[in-house]
Every structure is written in C-alpha cells, then in structure tokens.
Amino acid sequence: MAESKLTEERIIADIVDRYENDEGMLIPMMQDLQAECGYLPLDQLHRLAARLDVPLSRLYAVATFYSSFRLAPKGLHEVTLCVGTVCYLKGSGAISEALRKEFQVEASGTTPDGLFSFHPVNCVGACAVAPVMIVDGKYYNGITLDSARDILRGLSPEEAPAESEAQK
Amino acid sequence: MTVVGMERLSTTADLERLREDLRKRRDPAAKCVRVCIGPGCVAKGAMRLHELFTEAVRQTGADVAIEAKGVGCHGLCERGPLVIVHPGNIFYQRVEEPDVAEIFRETVLGGRVVERLLYEDPATGERARTADGIPFYKAQQRIALAHCGVIDPASLEDYIAAGGYSALAKALTTMTPEQVLQEVERSGLRGRGGGGFPTGRKWRSCRNAAGEPKYVICNGDEGDPGAFMDRVVMEGDPHAVLEGMVIGAYAIGSSQGYIYVRNEYPLSVDRLKGAIGQARELGLLGEDILGTGFSFDIRINRGGGAFVCGESTALMASLEGRPGEPRAKYVHTVEHGLHDKPTNLNNVETWANVPAIINHGAKWFASIGTEKSTGTKVFSLVGDVVNTGLVEVPMGITLRRIIEAIGGGVQGGKAFKAVQTGGPSGGCIPAEHLDAQVDFDQLTKLGSMMGSGGMIVMDEDTCMVNVARYFTNFLRDESCGKCTPCREGLAQMLSILDRITHGEGEVGDVERLQAMAVLLEGTAMCALGKTAANPALSTIRYFRDEYDAHILEKRCPAKECRGLFRYAIDAEACKACGLCKKHCPVDAISGEKKVPHVIDQEKCTLCGTCFEKCPFDAVLKV
C-alpha cells in the first residue's frame, strides 16, 4: 500500500517536473496523467493541485470543460464514432443512437460490463471516407449500422488492445 | 528514410551545401513508389500497402535504386489508396494489397503500366496515366500543399532537397524584419483560419505593440467538422509550417512559438514533434538559427477537445492552462494575448503559405486569385460529391467549377441542393449561386463565409431544416457558456428547430428564429457566438419553403425528418421476397408469396427497417 502511494506520488512529481512546474502547462500535465492512469483519479488530482499550489476547483473546471478528460476509468476498448457533419449526413447520428441503445452506453461513457468506452466526436478529419469509426486506433470507413454493430459485438472481453495511436 | 549524419548548420552556405549534397546523392535514375498516407488513404489501409512496398524493395536486391515512401495527402481521397510510381509518375488508384506485387513487378521493375489500376474518367471512359490527366487535378494549383503527396513528411532531407528552408535562409540573411513584413503585406495574404484578416497587418501590429516577450502561435485546432485541410498540412508537410513560423517570428521579433493541435489529431502531434526535433538538431530552430544570431523555439500543445478553442482568445486561455473561454475582442491579442503579452496567431495553412511568398515574392502571390483575396485556398471537398478529397484552388474560382469540374458533380446522379461552407457557423449556398466566386467577401455576401475551408456538398435528399438543427445542436454543445446570448440563445433556437423537425412547428417559429439570430449576432462576445445563427439564417434565406412545408403541411420535402413522411411499397417493383415483412419489428407488413406486400400505416412506426432491407428499392418514402 505504502509502495503504491509512493508510485502515485512519483507519477505526479515526474509530470510536474516535465513541465518545469509551469502552471500554464496544466492541460498537458493532466493529459499525461490521463495517459498514465487511463483517467483522472481524484486523489491524483488532489496531489497535482497541491504541488502546483492551485485550487482543486481549477483542475475540476479544466477536466469538465474539455471533452477528452475522463473522471472515471475507461473501458477495455476505445470506440470513437465520428458524428461530424459529413459522417452525420451519411447516417452516423442514427448509428450512434442505435449503438448507445443496444450497448447501454452513454456518450463518452463506458458500457456496464466495461467492454468499451464510447466517444461520439465531432470530426476526426477523415471526411472523404465517411462515416468513420475508430476502434482501438484502427479506422473503419464507410460503416453502416450493421457493420458497426458487428465490429462492436466482435470485441474481445478478455484481450486488451495493444497501445494504439488513438490512445497515445 | 535515410538518416544522414547531418551536422548543425551554422551558416546559410552550410544549408545550401547540404541541399546540393542531398540532391547529388539522389540517383536521377532511381525509382520511387509513393504511397499516399493521408487520412483518407490510411483509413482504407494504405499503411499496409506502404509496408508491403517497403518489403518488396528490400527483397529485390536489384542493382537499381528503388525507394518506397509514404507521402502526405495527394488529394483524391475518394479513389484511395493512391500509389504513384516514378519514373513517369504513374498514378494508380484504389490499390489493394494483392495489387502490390503486380505494380512492383510490372511498373517498378518492368516499366510497364498496369492499365486496370489507372483512373478512368467516368464521363469519357478515358484512362489517365498521370494525375495531370485527371479532371480533378486540372483546375488546381498547389502552394500550401505543394509538397504534400511528393515528399516524405518525416524526412527533413526530403524537405531540404525540395527547396525547404531556403525562404528562411533568404529572410534571415538578405532581408530585414521590416522587409519581410512588407513582403507579406504586399502579397495580400489573408488569414486562412476563417477570419480573413490581412496577415501582414496583424504581424505589424504585433511587432509594434509594447511589451516583451512576444509570442507567435500556430492554430492547429481544426475544429470544424467536415474539414481536414490543416491536418493534411501538419501531417504531410510539417516543416513548411515550422519554416513559416520562424520567418514570421523573425519579422515580428518573437523568440517563443506554440503550435496548438487538436486532440483528435495524434498523428499531427507526432509529425510536428519529429519535425521540431529535426529542425533543432540542424540549427534551423532554437538558439542562433543558421548562425544569424536569431533565436526562436516552438512548443506543441495538444488541445483538450473543445471546438471553441479554435477561437484565438479561447486558445490562448487554453495555453495558459484554463478552460477555453473567449474574452471580449476589443482587447486585441496582438497587444494583450498569451500571458497578457503581444501575441500573433495564424492558422496552419496561413503559415504554410509564408515560405512560398518569401521565395517567389509578393508580386507572384498577389497575381494568383482575386484582387482582395490573393493566392489559393485549400478546401476539403466532401459530402455527396463524386470526387471527395482535398483540393487547392486559386481564389476567385467559382463554386460550380469546384463542385462540377473538380468534384465531378453530385453522387449517384442526384440533384444538387446546397453547398455548406465555413464550418458550423457558415452557411448553405443554393444552386442559384453556384457561379459565385469563391473569395472571402463573396461568400460573406451570400450569408456564408470562407471559414477554414470545409466544403460540404448536399444532394436533394438532404433536409435543410435538419441541417440547421444539426449545426445549431453542435454549436449549442460546444458553446463555452460564458456569455448568455450564446449559451441560452442557441438552446432556445435548438428547441424551436427540434420542434419543427418533429412536426410540431408553429406559425411564427421562423420569425422567432430570426429575432434570436439578430440578438445573438449583436450581443454575443466572440466570433463563434456572433456567427452561430448563420446555419439557421442561411437556410431560412434560401430554403424558406422547406421550413414552411415542415410547419404548415407537417411534411419534410427531403423525406428525412422522421414522422413527416411515410413509407409505402411500390407494387410493381416489389418481388414479394418477404424480407421487409420478416424484419418489420411491429408486424406492420402483410403479403403472401408472389403478392406485392403492403404496409399498414396505422401500425407502422416509421422505423425505416423495411426501407433499409429491401433489395429491390421497392420501399419508397412518400
């Protein structure tokens, strides 16, 4: 227990050192913390706030303002569905709705069984091949509700994906 | 990617010597396979193709020099993955894994063309051997994208051999900061991020502003959905962005720069990071650049996933580690920007234009485009158009030429309805204005705007009220919430648009939307808020009849809004296969073998399953 606490403190110390204690680099620091832990654990946010000598509320404001921050652990797999204009016009809005219903997952939430986190995002910049879904960093273009459903049903509940582009 | 033992360059003569060296070392007879690894091609599996070609090169062991390189976006994403083979620049499209061996054997080694992989003009049936023969490329002119699709973006050698950093050398050693400023002013370059503010004037204001240090920022927070121009530049030619920034910093008198990259673009971050590292190593960035005594360094920040951070003051707040909330514009960022210091912010594409202006001169740049909108503009041409992709065209070209000549017209033989430009707060332009020139002022006059360069083509099946609802919903979600008109106004506008698309619109709703739009435009604090009513306003302006059909007749003319049209089976087209009946979740379809099926309108919940499942297109929207 004591050891894990030490590790946790080391993570924060490393991150803060990386950015020379510069409060202006709060967002990159929190991004690094999330990359390290998969989300922003509350006790780590406490430590980070204390080290930078800023109120915790400031970190909370940042964490809730930017959509890429998570305050809860993520699922085993990362699913990003583009609902940018072109993808939306080509049906991704309806796909998103149907997937959320079928897998009982909220936007930017995680399925009850922890299988995957689901992020409908506004444009991944691959509009020419819309609609696009990204699963663990792998792009699927020209998806339909059926193909998206098949991809998600095929996700392995045991195997965590290798570190991929989308999670870097 | 060759890693040459390159030493730090301490003079511009060193740079030229290196360039000569690199060029000499290239065997003119060398063959090269360029695999497009832009976003569209990668989504279609181009990375694997690149691996396979690299492997093929490794295995040949032939005594000819062959190189397989991944290059930035070539533009014609619709036909991806694209592979170009030199010599001859043979242009292959829709290349799949099994084709690699054939291309390698026939073209690379044998010098023969694989006909079936060439582009075939759908109109004439003619095959084009090179990109020049394809209508999509004919009307284009590449400045910002000059190197995209040609050089390996991860290779500084490639960039230098292609003439890279010569503009920087020229600026630092033969021009004063004032001369650089004047050159950019005279070029007429205007901001490519949306605002269209004259770049030279912005630089001058920042240079003249009191206070030190001064900051230079590159806005790579490409948040407009349907747009990927900046992504392609950052990933396909990162050094051009850096070179532009260093030149700008020299003119302005800045020693620290930032590139703010959107969170959704991890590859852009990687490429830029790599490029910054290479440039520092060679002395093209950092202390005492090229031995001239000028120092400037760049740091990359990743965005957190907030559309509003594309707004300059919000972006600066984000760089300071705060939520990205814009502030009132009367405090100018060129005087009080990042950390309250003079700050000059330009968009990725703007920066990428700078080296070309310094190299070829303001006069050359100003000769392209129109009098008040000079140069070219990159657009992501997407939506219901045949040739989706990335295009760079001279300003002043007509919308029709972009959509019809370059884009190949509307997909599937459908009729054109509108083209949406300018991102979420842009507008929809109808067919009657297709001959309008594309420049900053014309598009604004039409109730849309240039924006950062998204161009989304919509066909006749697109409901314009729903489009307005989509963008308004987007903007409501992304409103930072700081000022009331935007936060509350957009929510109210959305609720009206929701009502209309659900068939619950009331007479007077359109006027209510217009009234709120006036309020929003007049009282919102930032540019995003002020323009947030554009989607509703422009669709009301050009497609009022669709609003009226929804409100008065409870009918969606495009047959997109659920509940405002019905499904029916065309008895003649129906083959009575029973698929619709089998899949109907509410058993609303009846029919026997060989008897055309019928939908019970009382039971039908309008879910659309039968429409999706019918293999004969016999289910109609009426």
pLDDT digits (tens, 9 = 90+) for B578-608: 999 998 988 999 988 888 999 999 999 888 8
Whether chain B has a CB inside 8 Å of the CB on A141: the answer is yes
Give the chain A residue nearest B37 (alpha carbons). Answer: A126
- Considering only CB atoms, A139 lies closest to which of B42, B224, B231, namely B42
What value of ipTM does the predicted structure carry?
A: 0.83
- A 11-70 residues with CB below 8 A of B? 23-28, 31, 58, 61-62, 65-69
Report residues of chain B scoring pLDDT below 70: 1-5, 62
Report the alpha-carbon distance of residue B418 to residue B73 in Å, rounded: 26
Contact B323, B480 (CB under 8 A): yes
**Residues from chain A contacting residue B78 (CB–CB below 8 Å):** 128
CA-to-CA dists, residue B112 to A29, B91, B106, angstroms: 54, 13, 5
Q: How many helices (H) and strands (E) does chain A have?
A: 7, 5
Name residue, tokens 């400031």.
A58
Report the alpha-carbon distance of residue B222 to residue B308 in Å, rounded: 10
The answer to whether B458 contacts A89, with C-beta atoms less than 8 Å apart, is: yes
Give the chain A residue nearest B461 (alpha carbons). Answer: A89
Whether the upstream peptide bond of residue B87 has omega within 30° of 0, thus cis, is: yes
The answer to whether A129 contacts B80, with C-beta atoms less than 8 Å apart, is: yes
| Upper half-sphere CA count for residue B302 (Cβ side, 13 Å) | 24
The pLDDT score that the predictor gives to residue B206 is 97
The answer to whether B324 contacts A85, with C-beta atoms less than 8 Å apart, is: no
The pLDDT score that the predictor gives to residue B348 is 97
**Residues from chain A contacting residue B305 (CB–CB below 8 Å):** 66-69, 121
Enumerate domains of chain B plus CATH numbers.
12-138 (3.40.30.10), 163-366 (3.40.50.11540), 376-459 (3.10.20.600), 464-552 (1.20.1440.230), 567-621 (3.30.70.20)
The pLDDT score that the predictor gives to residue A3 is 67
The answer to whether B270 contacts A168, with C-beta atoms less than 8 Å apart, is: yes
Strands B256-261 and B376-383: unpaired
Task: Give residue B80's Cα distance to chain centre.
Answer: 17
Whether chain B has a CB inside 8 Å of the CB on A168: the answer is yes
The answer to whether B227 contacts A127, with C-beta atoms less than 8 Å apart, is: yes
Name residue, tokens 């963008």.
B471
* CATH 3.40.30.10 matches A77-167: yes
**Residues from chain A contacting residue B388 (CB–CB below 8 Å):** 127-129
The answer to whether A24 contacts B321, with C-beta atoms less than 8 Å apart, is: yes
Give every CB contact of residue B161 below 8 A, 6+ residues apart in sequence. B19, B22, B23, B26
Report the alpha-carbon distance of residue B272 to residue A35 in Å, rounded: 20
Name residue, tokens 């913390």.
A33
Whether chain B has a CB inside 8 Å of the CB on A101: the answer is no
Whether chain A has a CB inside 8 Å of the CB on B388: the answer is yes
The answer to whether A125 contacts B265, with C-beta atoms less than 8 Å apart, is: yes
Which ranges of B428-572 does DSSP label H, i.e. alpha helix? Answer: 440-445, 464-478, 484-501, 509-523, 527-530, 534-552
Annotated domain spans of chain A: 2-65, 77-167
For the stretch A70-103, pLDDT in tens is: 898 888 999 999 998 889 888 899 999 999 999 9
Secondary structure string (H, E, C) spanning B98-134 = CHHHHHHHHHHHCCCCCHHHCEECCCCCCEECCHHHC
- Considering only CB atoms, A165 lies closest to which of B266, B322, B339, namely B266
The pLDDT score that the predictor gives to residue B452 is 85
The pLDDT score that the predictor gives to residue B1 is 41
The pTM score is 0.90
Report residues of chain A scoring pLDDT below 50: 1, 163-168
Give the chain B residue nearest A84 (alpha carbons). Answer: B225
**Residues from chain B contacting residue A15 (CB–CB below 8 Å):** none
Report the alpha-carbon distance of residue B282 to residue B272 in Å, rounded: 15
